[in-house]
Chains A and B, each alone.
Chain A
Amino acid sequence: MSKVSAFLRKKPLIASLMILLLVLTAGCSGSNNASQNTGKNQVVKGGTFVYGRPAPVTSFDEYSEITSNNAFAIDKVFEPLVAFNKDGKIGNWLAKSHSISKDGLTYTFVLRDGLKFSNGTDVTAKDAAFSIQQHLIDKGPLAISAQVASIKAKDNKTLVITLKEPYTPFLSELANFSNGILPNNFGGVSEKQFFKKPIGTGPFVVQKWDPAGDLTFVKNKYYWQKGKPYIDKLVYKLIEDDSQAINQLKAGEVNAIESLPLENANELKQNAGTGVLTSGSWSIEQLFFNTLDKHFSDVHVRRALALAIDRPALTKALTFGYAEPANSLLPPAILYNTNKTIKALNFDTNAAKKELAKSAYPHGFSTNLLIASGNSTTAHLAQILQQAGKTIGININIESIELASFRDRFFAYNFSTMINGGQADYPDADSILAFQTDPKGFSKSYWTHYTNNNVTKLLYEGQKTPDGPARAKIYANLQQILADEVPYIPLYYPDVLIGVRSSVKGLVVLPNGSVRFDSVQITK
């Protein structure tokens, strides 16, 4: 009871305004260490931050993990040479500078001064070389796609990586948590042992860890951003049920929650004492067609269904303003997206009927829509699509099956249409595009089996072309072809939503759904 009443106590208005102002000025003056020192004495330090999460952290193995439950804990312990910020832009992180040779083959990184691991030992270029080399050996689900020729520690501070052929997304790949820097040779222990007690450069150190429950971090006293993190402890509290998490946030039992369903965002916004932080995401909800299917191998059928769907209306109804209707495959948070300029197939029932008339099934047909059960937004979306299909004579049966079975089904191409999401692993446009358009990749154009030689050609060109207008043009063309041939219909880009207590300041939400706690303060 005392816990609850403590949170209910109101702060004097002026004090909270001051703190707000302070955070704002601190935020404006740059995200890195330099300016923070000036306002140091006003920063609220200390305290334990409790973060409610829907799944436990089961492993810290940065090479073999991919799911967010682990990824968003790994990135607190291990940090990469370069990192992306709130807008998905890549900048130096453990490296104080980096350069890419003109031919796109040689990457040179210079480490920051005074970098230390959480056990107090210095970080050298050897450690960095080992970390990336080990990832090349282990591969794992986020294996480096660039063709790496050599990785060398030129001196204590300088790391040089050379590629066999140019691969523009490489820098983006390196920004991934899976390329976090760890001690050379795992500090002398086996790989398995090391990841049980991980040592990295990140702002937090694992203190207590239950792989089926909660995780407690303490601040890394050797952290390179001086004075940070401000909090002493960070607790990842397992709360599997979303409504339970929301209730705990409202009652002040947690400081923030990672999983916030779209339909509950406004409720938290209107509630005194809680709020919502958002960020544009790297994910996109889509309707996928199996292009091997009898009906959906016909491009006119796919186009007809795309024309029959009112994307702005369904986005508004399903996401309460926390998503943007999608036109292009690439989300706005990713460079080279053409969401504003692309010519998409917009809602027009008459055009849809005309398009279907051109197909081999002018009078419509019956088909199946496969969805994973347990998510009410998906279920609602399916019903809206069903209704849309009906208007042009396509009769859609919804087949809702449990997630594990759902994956089995589409892996085996055993579906006609399905609702699923695309998600970039790193900020480069290639991440989503390669996964969804490469018929030779293991994902077979996201299990649609969509094959178009022009698209494949553009995809490979994009990988080799350095960043700039030329690359932008390639991706604009590619996205336009996809919008015309619709192997999948982009529906909307959901925002990343994090539910917070109003007392929380300085939490940074990243477009991959992770958050940065290094500057977070709990202003009672």
Chain B
Amino acid sequence: MKSIQLDTQLQENRKGKSLLKKVLNTPPLLWGGMMFALLIGVAVFAPVISPYQPSHQNLFAILQPPSTKHWLGTDQLGRDLFTRVIYAARTDLSIMVLAEVIPFCTGVFLGMLAGYYGKWIDTLITLITDTLIAFPFYLIVIIVAFASGAGQKGIYITFILVGWIVYARVIKGLSASFRKQEWIAAAQTLGIPGVKIILRHLLPNVLPQAVVVLMTDMVGLLVAIVTLGYLGIGIAPPTPDWGTMISDGQSFIATAWWLSAVPGCAVVYTGIALSLVGDGLADIWRRK
């Protein structure tokens, strides 16, 4: 009991005291956070930043090279590329975040259940994860995307089906190791019900690790969205999306390479920002 109190107290202390200082002391988190904040800022203020509409076409000014009027030129329908890249950030980032919500919750919860109770629950969950993991990831993604129709719905369904596995596996191991610690045993002897122990005491302890996994997993998800776009089963037009933009631009790689290079770089930029944040959070967590 003592150790539980100590643990939570310690956490609260640190939280209240010097969150900012901690961030400042962790360069990856600082840089990653700034990069990500910039990205979010650009996405949110897209209408203010760009004078054009992302779907505004001009069939008489297609495939123009970069100029002062169109900073990154225009695409095949005469739409402003810069505008589409920053509007695509809205699409892709929001799908990325939304598609992680359910897998994150179910994965963490199932992981804790398996780790805490072990026995048949563990066996069952392990069987399911092992079955799903035995398939090459893109095989499942493509089949589900085909089944549910291209577009956002397919991405959400795919990730609800397979996205939770990575959390479940990491959190299961972590929970199992916590289970052996004495404060859990103490709580059990006091007669606190399992569910309560899981939600009240186990969850706060596994959450930081889950958030670290979330950061890298979001990058993976973004790459998956982009890959689906490349395979032609991504987000439906005319919604701007980096993946579709890369594959549309691929035809012009010899004549207008920036059409697919710029959205590609946007994906890489997002990846760097998120993995820096993940690294930083892991650093802080490890130090604690």
Contacts of B233 in A (CB 8 A): 373-374, 402
Q: Is B50 an interface residue (CB 8 A)?
A: no
Are A383 and B59 within 8 A (Cβ)? Answer: no
Chain B residues 118 to 156 lying within 8 A of chain A, measured CB to CB, are 145-146, 149-151
Check: B248 CB closer than 8 A to any chain A CB: yes
On chain A, the residues within 8 Å of B253 by CB distance are 243
Q: What does DSSP make chain B's interface, helix, strand, loop or mixed?
A: loop
The A-B contact count (CB < 8 A) is: 73
Are the C-beta atoms of B59 and A313 separated by less than 8 Å? yes
Interface residues of B in 44-86 (CB under 8 A from A): 55, 57, 59-60, 62, 76-78
Main secondary structure of the interface of A (DSSP, over half): helix
How far apart are the CA atoms of A376 and B247 in the complex, in Å? 8
- Partner among B60, B232, B237 whose Cβ is within 8 Å of the Cβ of A382: B237
A398-B59 in contact (CB<8A): no
The answer, yes or no, to whether A400 is at the interface (CB within 8 Å) is yes
Task: Tell yes or no: B13 within 8 A of A by CB.
Answer: no
CB neighbors of B among A402-454 (8 A):
402, 404-405
Q: Give CA–CA (A455, B251) in the complex, Å.
A: 42
Do B60 and A313 touch across chains, with their CB atoms under 8 A apart?
Answer: yes
Q: Say yes or no: is A87 at the interface (Cβ < 8 Å to chain B).
A: no
Contact at A373–B150, with CB atoms within 8 Å? yes
Chain A residues 255 to 310 lying within 8 A of chain B, measured CB to CB, are: 261, 263-264, 266-267, 271, 310
A264 contacts which chain B residues (CB < 8 A)?
A: 251
Contact residue among B76, B146, B231, B236 (Cβ-Cβ distance under 8 Å from A398): B236
Q: How far is the CA of A240 from the CA of B263 in the complex (A)?
A: 25
Q: Which residues of B contact A382 (CB under 8 A)?
A: 237
Pick the contact of A243: B78, B149, B231, B250 (CB < 8 A).
B250
In the complex, the answer to whether B150 meets A384 with C-beta atoms within 8 Å is: no
Complex: A478 Cα to B77 Cα, angstroms: 34
> Would you call B254 and A267 a contact (CB within 8 A)?
yes
Q: Is A401 an interface residue, CB under 8 A from the partner?
A: yes
Residue from A266, A375, A398, A405 within 8 A of B238 (CB atoms):
A398
B-side interface size class: 20 to 34
Which residues of B (237-260) have their CB < 8 Å from a CB of A? 237-238, 244, 247-248, 250-255
Among B55, B57, B146, B247, the residue within 8 A (CB) of A402 is: B146
Complex: chain A residue closest to B56, CB-CB: A387
B248 touches A383 (CB 8 A): no
- What is the bound-complex CA distance between A373 and B150, given in angstroms? 7
Is the pair B59, A405 in contact by a Cβ cutoff of 8 Å?
A: no
Q: Which of B55, B231, B251 contacts A387 (CB 8 A)?
A: B55
Residues of A within 8 A of B236 (CB): 398-400
In the assembly, what is the distance between CA of A266 and CA of B78, in Å?
18
Within A312-330, the residues touching B (CB, 8 Å) are 313-314, 316-318
Is A379's CB within 8 Å of the partner chain B? yes
Does any Cβ of B come within 8 Å of A386's Cβ?
yes
Indicate if A380 sits at the interface (CB-CB under 8 A).
Answer: yes
State whether A317 and B146 are in contact (beta carbons under 8 Å apart), knowing that A267-B255, A374-B232 are contacts in the complex: no
CB-CB under 8 A from A386, the residues of chain B are 238
Residue in A closest to B232 when the chains form the complex, CB atoms? A374
Whether A243 pairs with B251 at a CB distance below 8 angstroms is yes
In the bound complex, CA of A399 to CA of B248 (Å) = 18
- In the complex, how many angstroms separate the beta carbon of A245 from the nearest chain B beta carbon? 12
Q: Which residues of B contact A399 (CB under 8 A)?
A: 149, 236
Contact with B along A348-367 (1 / 0, CB 8 A): 00000000000000000000
**Which of B78, B238, B252 sits near A263, CB closer than 8 Å?**
B252
What is the distance, in angstroms, from A476's C-beta to the closest C-beta of chain B? 31
Q: How far is the CB of B8 from chain A (nearest CB, A)?
A: 50
- Expressed in whole angstroms, the Cα–Cα distance for A314 and B145 within the complex equals 30
Measured CA separation A379–B76 after assembly (Å): 11
Tell me, in angstroms, the Cα distance from A399 to B251 when the chains sit together: 23
Contact B55 A405 (CB under 8 A): no
A383 closest partner in B (C-beta): B238
Decide if B238 touches A373 in the complex (CB within 8 Å). no
Complex-state Cα separation, A398 to B78, whole angstroms: 19
Q: In angstroms, how far is the closest chain B Cβ from the Cβ of A387?
A: 5
Question: Known contacts A399-B236, A401-B150; is A376 also within 8 Å of B55 by CB?
Answer: no
Are A317 and B59 interface neighbours, CB within 8 A? yes
Asked whether B232 lies within 8 Å of A310 as measured between CB atoms, the reply is no
- Which residue from chain B places its CB closest to the CB of A250 in the assembled complex? B254
> Smallest CB–CB gap between A260 and chain B, Å?
11
Out of B149, B232, B252, which one reaches A405, CB within 8 Å? B149
Distance in angstroms between the alpha carbons of A398 and B149 in the assembled complex: 13
- Nearest B-chain residue to A264, judged by Cβ: B251
List residues of B (243-282) whose CB comes within 8 Å of A's CBs. Answer: 244, 247-248, 250-255
Q: Report yes or no: B250 in contact with A384, Cβ–Cβ below 8 A.
A: no
16 extra A-B contacts, CB within 8 A, seeds A373-B150, A401-B150, A402-B145: A267-B252, A310-B59, A314-B59, A317-B59, A373-B232, A375-B232, A383-B237, A384-B57, A387-B55, A387-B57, A399-B236, A400-B150, A400-B151, A400-B236, A401-B149, A404-B146
Point out residues on B near A: beta carbons under 8 Å.
55, 57, 59-60, 62, 76-78, 145-146, 149-151, 231-233, 236-238, 244, 247-248, 250-255
- 15 pairs from A and B in contact (CB 8 Å cutoff): A263-B76, A271-B254, A316-B59, A317-B62, A375-B232, A376-B248, A376-B251, A380-B76, A380-B77, A383-B57, A387-B57, A400-B150, A400-B236, A400-B237, A402-B145
**Residues of chain A whose beta carbon lies under 8 Å from any beta carbon of chain B:** 243, 261, 263-264, 266-267, 271, 310, 313-314, 316-318, 373-376, 379-380, 382-384, 386-387, 398-402, 404-405
Q: A-B pairs with the 6 shortest C-beta distances?
A: A374-B232, A317-B59, A400-B236, A263-B251, A383-B238, A373-B150
